[in-house]
Amino acid sequence: MSSLPRVNIDQPKYDQESYVGRAKHFFLLTNPLNVLASAAKLEEARQIVLKYRAGKDVPECKTIDDVWRAKYLYDSAFHPETGEKQIVIGRMAAQMPMNMIITGGEYEYEQRFWGSIGAI
C-alpha cells in the first residue's frame, strides 16, 4: 500500500485569502451533522489525526480526502488547545442548532415581553 501524500492538516484545507475558501472551511467545521457522530467515530477521527500528524501510516484512510474528513470531524468536536472532547452543546458542530434555540427563545421572549407591556 502506498502512503498518503503529506499535507499540513494544521492549516485549513481551503485558501483563506478568498471568501469562498473561508466559507468552505467554516461550513465544514460547523457542519451540524458532525454532532451526530458517535463517540467511536470521534475517537477514530482523533486517532487518524494524531497518527497523520506524527508521520505514521494511516491504514484507515484510502485517500487524503479521508484524512481531511477525519480532521474536520476532529476539529468540530475537540478543543483546539487541550485536545479534550467537548460536551455536545459546546462543539463547533453544535453552533448552528444551539444558536437557533437561543435565538428562537430570545425572539419568543421578546414577543411575550412587548406583548405584555402593550397590554398594560
Report pLDDT digits (tens) over 100-110: 877 777 777 77
What pLDDT digit, counting tens, does each position of 61-86 carry?
899 999 999 999 998 889 888 888 88
Query: Residue 98 belongs to what H/E stretch?
Result: helix 95-118
Is this structure's pTM higher than 0.85?
no
pLDDT > 80? residue 53: yes
Set of cell numbers at residue 107: 425572539
In terms of C-beta density within 10 A (0-12 exposed, 13-18 middle, 19 or more buried), how is residue 22 classed?
middle
**pLDDT number for residue 50:** 92
Return the number of other C-beta atoms located less than 10 Å from residue 10's C-beta: 8
Count CA within 13 A, CB hemisphere, residue 64. 9
